[in-house]
């Protein structure tokens, strides 16, 4: 349809991705491609929203490459919303290629997807990378959640003993570096890194053991009452505004809909450049 713009949303069948896909599909002039690991859930949601499914498992680089081919066949893309994420309890779980699972899903899969789709993103296309305040690693910004521990990206990609929560915070720092470097390398795009704040109802605890999931289910309604908490629907409205509203400064960090500083640690351009180049190596692409 002439004038219709197309957006690909990863993690589109649950949490923030589901809320974002639904809101964007209801926005006049927008068509949504649903990045979905669960094909059945994707098909059901596609029927509900009048959208199209792009099967995608971010824990498999082969799956990501296939997903990029499917998405590219749909025509030019006006927006790429990198929403999917995983949080596990340990840093020794692995992706299909043997990479540490959290780094693989939250960063490496999205990096490869973006690189593969760059030729199909129109000039001025919006790319939104969903990060988290956990990348600050401070009590005020992250609460009791362990902060990131940066290192050689090759080491971050290796499974290891240790906290899955720390691996998650580190992957969210990687998201900021990736968004900033993407903006630097691709000035024709409009890139934003989005921090939705605390969202107790996103389902990130789905990979936790059953007792931890049960405890989190009890705590969720209490956490949702905190003044700085948001529902997925509230955060989705902010994310969709970044996609459909006026373009801002590319590479900016947006917290709960308002441009804000990211952590001091995230402002290191050398780390951002190194992460890009090592990620290219890990997925088998030139640095570009």
Q: Which of 62, 70, 78, 65 is nearest to 46 (CA)?
A: 70
**Which pLDDT does position 40 carry in this prediction?**
95
Could you tell me the two tokens for 17?
């991705």
Per the rule left: phi > 0, alpha: psi between -120 and 50, beta: everything else, 6 is beta
Catalytic residue ranges: 168
Predicted TM-score (pTM) of the model is: 0.91
Q: pLDDT digit of tens for each residue in the chain (288 aa)?
A: 468 999 999 999 999 999 999 999 999 999 999 999 999 999 999 999 999 999 999 999 999 999 999 999 999 999 999 999 999 999 999 999 999 999 999 999 999 999 999 999 999 999 999 999 999 998 877 777 899 999 999 999 999 999 999 999 999 999 999 999 999 999 999 999 999 998 665 555 555 555 544 444 444 454 455 556 789 999 999 999 999 999 999 999 999 999 999 999 999 999 999 999 999 999 999 997
What residue spans define the domains of the chain?
A: 5-283
* pLDDT on residue 145: 83
May I ask the CATH architecture of the domain 5-283? Answer: 3-Layer(aba) Sandwich (3.40)
Q: CA–CA separation, 252 vs 179, rounded Å? A: 8
């Amino acid at each position: 349809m002439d004038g219709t713009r197309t957006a690909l949303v990863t993690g589109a069948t649950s949490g923030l991705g589901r809320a974002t896909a639904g809101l964007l599909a209801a926005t006049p002039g927008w068509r949504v491609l649903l990045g979905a690991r669960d094909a059945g859930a994707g098909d059901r949601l596609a029927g509900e929203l009048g959208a199209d499914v792009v099967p995608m498992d971010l824990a498999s680089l082969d799956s990501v490459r296939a997903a990029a081919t499917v998405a590219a066949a749909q025509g030019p893309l006006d927006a790429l919303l990198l929403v999917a994420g995983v949080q596990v309890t340990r840093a020794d779980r692995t992706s299909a290629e043997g990479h540490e699972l959290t780094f693989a899903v939250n960063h490496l899969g999205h990096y490869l997807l973006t690189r593969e789709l760059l030729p199909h993103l129109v000039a001025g296309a919006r790319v939104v990378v969903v990060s988290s305040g956990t990348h600050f690693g401070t009590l005020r910004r992250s609460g009791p959640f362990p902060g990131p521990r940066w290192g050689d990206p090759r080491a971050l990609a290796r499974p290891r003993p240790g906290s899955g929560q720390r691996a998650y915070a580190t992957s969210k720092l990687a998201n900021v570096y990736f968004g900033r470097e993407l903006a630097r390398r691709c000035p024709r795009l409009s890139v934003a890194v989005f921090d939705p704040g605390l969202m107790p109802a996103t389902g990130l605890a789905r990979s936790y053991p059953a007792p931890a999931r049960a405890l989190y289910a009890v705590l969720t309604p209490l956490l949702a009452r905190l003044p700085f908490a948001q529902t997925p629907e509230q955060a989705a409205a902010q994310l969709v505004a970044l996609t459909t509203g006026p373009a801002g400064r590319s590479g900016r960090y947006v917290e709960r809909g308002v441009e804000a500083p990211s952590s001091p640690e995230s402002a290191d351009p050398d780390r951002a450049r190194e992460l890009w180049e090592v990620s290219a190596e890990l997925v088998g692409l030139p640095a570009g």
